[in-house]
Amino acid sequence: MLLSENQFQKLVSSFSILPGIGKKSATRIGFHVLRMEDSTFQSWLNGLKEARERLHFCQICGGLTEETICDICDSPKRDKTILCVVEQPEDIFFIENTKEFFGTYHVLNGSISPLDGIGPDQLRIKPLMERLEESDIKEVLVATNPTLEGDATASYLSHLIKEREIKVTRIAHGITIGGTIEYSDQYTLGKAIKSRLTL
């Protein structure tokens, strides 16, 4: 057990580098992978390889697609006058799941974070400005995360876009549906009070 820990630690690391996986989860996953039948493991690997070969990022919005242009950008049914800006392609999935947004998207591939050396030039902001220039977009809904970086990005984009006389909105931050005031953190609750709506 002791000598083999080195090799096993490598296996654990293979999983603990993945987002949201701690050391204990990585250990359990490592053993799970070791216990897989050879054929199961092989088809599991092939599934990952195939996904990487077939899936790309849309040349317009940066979202996930098997084609050059994704189905949302390509659809005549989507409202081309409202554009939702997100940090990551996966955010599109979560917003689509709500069935509350019918416009198109633009993925930034991150958020402004000077400490990590990520400025506006490292993000897909130039392509965003080109889209605003060339199309009939009337509203940009900024759906960056309510973090320091997401807020900075939203504020930066807001200034830039308003200059073009395009309406800029941001998703509301407030207490979770089904949650309680008691368990909301003070910042969220404060924000919810500040952005209260007239009934």
Binding-site ranges for its own copies (CB under 8 A)? 1-4, 7-8, 10-11, 14, 18-21, 24-25, 27-34, 36, 41, 44-45, 47-52, 54-55, 58, 63-67, 70-72, 88-90, 92-93, 96, 182-183
> Please, which residue, 37 or 163, has the CB nearer to its own copies?
37
> Please, which residue, 108 or 161, has the CB nearer to its own copies?
108
Give the 3-state secondary structure percentages of the chain, helix then strand then coil, rounded to 5. 50, 10, 40
Instruction: State the minimum distance, in angstroms, from the CB of residue 182 to its own copies.
Output: 7
- Residue 163 sits at the vertex; the CA angle it makes with 146 and 132, to the nearest 5 degrees, is 80
Residue found by looking up tokens 């970086």 in the block:
149
Q: Residue 116: how many CA atoms within 13 Å on its side-chain side?
A: 10
> Please, which residue, 28 or 126, has the CB nearer to its own copies?
28
Instruction: State the minimum distance, in angstroms, from the CB of residue 146 to its own copies.
Output: 18
* Cβ partners under 8 Å of residue 117, min gap 6: none
Q: How far is CA 125 from CA 7, 89, 105, in A?
A: 43, 15, 13
Instruction: State the minimum distance, in angstroms, from the CB of residue 49 to its own copies.
Output: 8
Instruction: State the minimum distance, in angstroms, from the CB of residue 9 to its own copies.
Output: 10
> Please, which residue, 34 or 193, has the CB nearer to its own copies?
34
